[in-house]
């Protein structure tokens, strides 16, 4: 993301962090980059963080973010559009966000086809010149699978919610997913473009029984031996900017917090908020 958007997200996320007791001015080592992956088929959702709506009608197979979150514990809830947090279809009231990481929070189906929230730590170690990292995650209600490139197995026996990864030469890779130990294709083939100095993360999502299997992907840039610092991440495969509902939700938090600070600074010395 470019221009002022990262600053808006960063400032808003720090405001959000203060609601759970995190330091309002966290250092880079205390902040993580967090993306949200929607892998539950056929169900748009509203996403709430600490009771505040941050994504409105978030569509399946899409990725939002990344945003900066200070290290701490968060209450994350997914509801059907327009329904209250108390009616969440999926909720984690104690989601731990460590400091200094690059994370993907995936809402998906587990092996028994029940909604689940899984936090993945993205490998942002530097890759060699001309190389790219491919990470494949099994987040579907489906049996174990093998991932093939050019018809040859690259990752085998992958189960929900596990991942496999490898550093490969940058460029286009023709990949498909088959039932483990067989040649029965369940996804693909699909061309995956591996950009040098980045990690391409591909999620198998949906349900085999429900015939809703599909793919979602995101890209994490900044792995090409750049100076030490927080790597930048990009969201969905086509549009790498955060959806406007995400920006507007966090912007509202920022505006509210700014107004509160102004009211506080306008009080005479010694005045205490009631």
Weakest mean pLDDT among 68-72, 102-106, 197-201, 259-263: 259-263
Can you give the pTM of this predicted structure? 0.73
Q: For residue 201, what pLDDT is reported?
A: 96
Q: Between helices 244-266 and 5-18, what is the axis angle to 10°? A: 60
d(CA 241, CA 62): 11
Q: Which tens digits make up the pLDDT trace of 39-94?
A: 999 999 999 999 999 999 999 999 998 988 899 999 999 999 999 999 999 999 99
Instruction: Tell me what the mean pLDDT of segment 143-169 comes to.
Output: 94
DSSP 34-86: EEEEE--TT--EEEEETTEEEEEEEPTT-EEEEEEEESEEEEEEEESTT--GG
Instruction: Tell me what the mean pLDDT of segment 197-208 comes to.
Output: 96
| Structure-model confidence comparison of residues 274 and 58, the more confident one | 58
134: pLDDT strictly greater than 60: yes
Weakest mean pLDDT among 28-42, 85-99, 185-199, 203-217: 28-42
User: What percent of the chain lies above the pLDDT cut of 90?
Assistant: 66
| β 115-121/90-97 pair status | unpaired
How many residues make up the chain in this entry? 274
Instruction: Tell me what the mean pLDDT of segment 29-47 comes to.
Output: 92
136: pLDDT strictly greater than 90: yes
Q: For residue 26, what pLDDT is reported?
A: 53
Torsion of CA 181, 182, 184, 186, to 10 degrees: 0
Residue 63 near residue 217, CB atoms below 8 Å: yes
- Mean pLDDT of the chain, nearest integer: 78
Phi and psi based region of residue 182 (left: phi greater than 0; alpha: psi -120 to 50; beta: remaining): beta
Instruction: Tell me what the mean pLDDT of segment 198-214 comes to.
Output: 95
139: pLDDT strictly greater than 80: yes
| Structure-model confidence comparison of residues 44 and 250, the more confident one | 44
For residue 201, whether the previous peptide bond is cis, meaning omega lies within 30 degrees of 0, is no
Q: What is the DSSP letter of 13?
A: H
Residue 17 near residue 23, CB atoms below 8 Å: yes
Instruction: Tell me what the mean pLDDT of segment 226-231 comes to.
Output: 37
């Amino acid at each position: 993301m470019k221009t002022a958007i990262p600053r808006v997200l960063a400032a808003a996320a720090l405001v959000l962090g203060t609601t759970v007791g995190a330091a309002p001015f966290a250092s880079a080592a205390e902040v993580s980059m967090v993306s949200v992956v929607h892998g539950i088929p056929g169900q748009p959702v509203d996403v709430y963080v600490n009771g505040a709506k941050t994504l409105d009608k978030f569509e399946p197979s899409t990725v939002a973010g990344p945003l900066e979150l200070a290290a701490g514990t968060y209450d994350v809830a997914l509801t059907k559009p327009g329904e209250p947090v108390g009616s969440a279809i999926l909720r984690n009231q104690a989601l731990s966000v460590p400091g200094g990481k690059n994370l993907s929070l995936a809402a998906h189906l587990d092996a028994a086809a029940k909604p689940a929230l899984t936090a993945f730590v993205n490998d942002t170690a530097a890759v060699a010149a001309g190389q790219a990292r491919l990470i494949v995650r099994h987040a579907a209600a489906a049996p174990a699978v093998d991932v093939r490139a050019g018809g040859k197995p690259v990752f085998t026996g992958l189960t929900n919610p596990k991942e496999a990864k490898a550093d490969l030469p940058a460029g286009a890779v023709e990949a498909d997913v088959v039932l483990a130990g067989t040649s029965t294709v369940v996804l693909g083939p699909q061309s995956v473009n591996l950009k040098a100095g980045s990690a391409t993360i591909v999620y198998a999502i949906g349900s085999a029984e429900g015939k809703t299997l599909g793919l979602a992907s995101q890209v994490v840039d900044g792995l090409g031996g750049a100076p030490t610092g927080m790597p930048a991440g990009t969201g969905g495969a086509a549009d790498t900017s955060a959806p406007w509902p995400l920006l507007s939700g966090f912007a509202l938090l920022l505006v509210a917090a700014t107004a509160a600070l102004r009211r506080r600074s306008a009080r005479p010395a010694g005045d205490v908020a009631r």
